[in-house]
Structure 1
Amino acid sequence: MAVTADATTVNWNIWGDVAVSLLPQPYLDKVVQAGGAPVLLPPLVEGVEAVMERADALLMSGGADIDPALYGAERGKFTFPPHQARDAAELAALAVAERRGIPVLAVCRGLQLISVSRGGTLDQHLPEHSPAVPGRYEPRTIRVKPDSVLGGALGTSPTVYCHHHQGIDRLGAGLVATAWSDDGVIEGAEAEDPSAPFLAGLQAHGELGADTVPLFEAFVEAAKAPARR
């Protein structure tokens, strides 16, 4: 399965400012733990379609803020500068996945981008949901609708790990919210049509923690079914 990666620069051994495509290891570990085989999909729009035509599923990872222009908004003072190449590459990957009918699982930014691709909007700053210590994920118990894809995998009150300062404002077309925080912020959504191919997203970082293992297992199991194309 294809797993979206980020692009940045790092200091690598004796080399400085090396351009890299990368992804936190827990994403890959979680896929392997669930029985899948991950392949990194770098944010290079020119190569997306060739990879996605061979992939049996798409995992959209978390990361930087989405360009507000994609949902018709100006960039707020707390929103980070856009990574337009990543936005474009992931939207292209999502389009192929939806056309082929292969499973899609989205984490944090990934869920937001799916919603935006369907006309949704984002709240650009949720200070009450920002971590007390930047760079540290915080455990949170969320409420999940029982008769849903997320509910079937996670149960109704899983503990998840969060590090988000943005969230879904208006949910995109064809999606339904199926998980919430105590204050009503959407923490998960999925395809509104239960007969549609597997499409689910979690605002929290599902690559972390034990409670989300069954969600990745359900995702990998869905990937074993033939693509609809």
Structure 2
Amino acid sequence: MSKPLIGVTTYLDQARWGVWDLPAALLPAAYPRLIQRGGGLAAMLPPDDPSAAAQTVDRLDALVVAGGADVEPVRYGAEPDPRTGPPARERDGWELALIDAALAAGIPLLGICRGMQLLNVALGGTLVQHLDGHTEAVGVIGRHPVSPVPGTRYAALVPEPASVPTYHHQCVDILGKNLIASAHAGDGTVEAIELPSPAWVLGVQWHPEMGEDLRVVRGLVAAASGRAARA
């Protein structure tokens, strides 16, 4: 059986390599490596016109919305907190369109960190703009335990409390339409969200690409493979 094609969204930023200093579509190598280790093929999806989202999703077997900049508060009807980072408007527009297209098409969807937050916003939810205790230091991935909610898709993949790699200062506040919390940190922070079955739609607040636990990505790849086989 051929491996499923899984699109991963990217940053759009100024970057330097060799003799060049140019705008670049960026993605930490840990993301495609996570997909590859999980058994899928990774395709980078740099920001594009939102009108191209449905056509893009139509070529994929699954979608991963990667981490990155804070979601612009106007997207969920809030004023920016002084601690909220600068907006990435091109990413916001593109990735929200991709999420809408993926939900409409019924393809498996995994949101990672910012991607989970954007999934919540896409479905009408809101965010806490600053949270202490979930970032070890600037540029340093920390770890903390998360506990699954019994009976959820996430709990079926990871049934026990697990230590996860984490780097975030925002989190879900009000859940979006039909979303349920499927994991929590010790302080009660929502650490995973999902749509009820039969949809395979999951968001995790942590960074699985920075760890060794492949159960979440293998769940995504299995769902993508099943959809590709049916197609």
In the alignment, does 2:59 pair up with 1:57? no
Show the counterpart of 1:199: 201
SS at match of 1:63: coil
Residue 47 of structure 1 deviates from its aligned partner by 4.0
* Cα distance in 2 for residues equivalent to 1:2 and 1:15: 27
Following superposition of structure 1 onto structure 2, how do residues 50-89 of structure 1 map, counting pairs within 5 Å?
A: 50-89=55-94
Structure 1 gaps of 5+ residues are: none
Structure 2 gaps of 5+ residues are: 1-5
* Cα distance in 2 for residues equivalent to 1:185 and 1:139: 14
* Cα distance in 2 for residues equivalent to 1:96 and 1:123: 26
SS at match of 1:143: strand
* Cα distance in 1 for residues equivalent to 2:87 and 2:200: 29
* Cα distance in 2 for residues equivalent to 1:202 and 1:36: 19
* Cα distance in 1 for residues equivalent to 2:134 and 2:104: 34
TM-score calculated relative to the size of structure 2: 0.93
* Cα distance in 2 for residues equivalent to 1:218 and 1:108: 18
Aligned-partner residue type, residue 85 of structure 2:
F
Following superposition of structure 1 onto structure 2, how do residues 171-190 of structure 1 map, counting pairs within 5 Å?
A: 171-190=175-194
Identity across matched positions, percent: 36
Show the counterpart of 1:98: 103
- Asked if 2 retains the 8 angstrom alpha-carbon contact of 1:145 and 1:156, the reply is no
Aligned-partner residue type, residue 216 of structure 2:
L
Q: What number of residue pairs does the alignment pair up?
A: 224
Following superposition of structure 1 onto structure 2, how do residues 25-64 of structure 1 map, counting pairs within 5 Å?
A: 25-45=29-49, 47-64=52-69
Show the counterpart of 1:161: 165
- Asked if 1 retains the 8 angstrom alpha-carbon contact of 2:184 and 2:191, the reply is yes
Show the counterpart of 2:149: 145
- RMSD between aligned alpha carbons? 1.5
SS at match of 2:210: coil
* Cα distance in 2 for residues equivalent to 1:58 and 1:156: 26
* Cα distance in 1 for residues equivalent to 2:145 and 2:227: 35
* Cα distance in 2 for residues equivalent to 1:77 and 1:128: 18
* Cα distance in 1 for residues equivalent to 2:182 and 2:193: 5
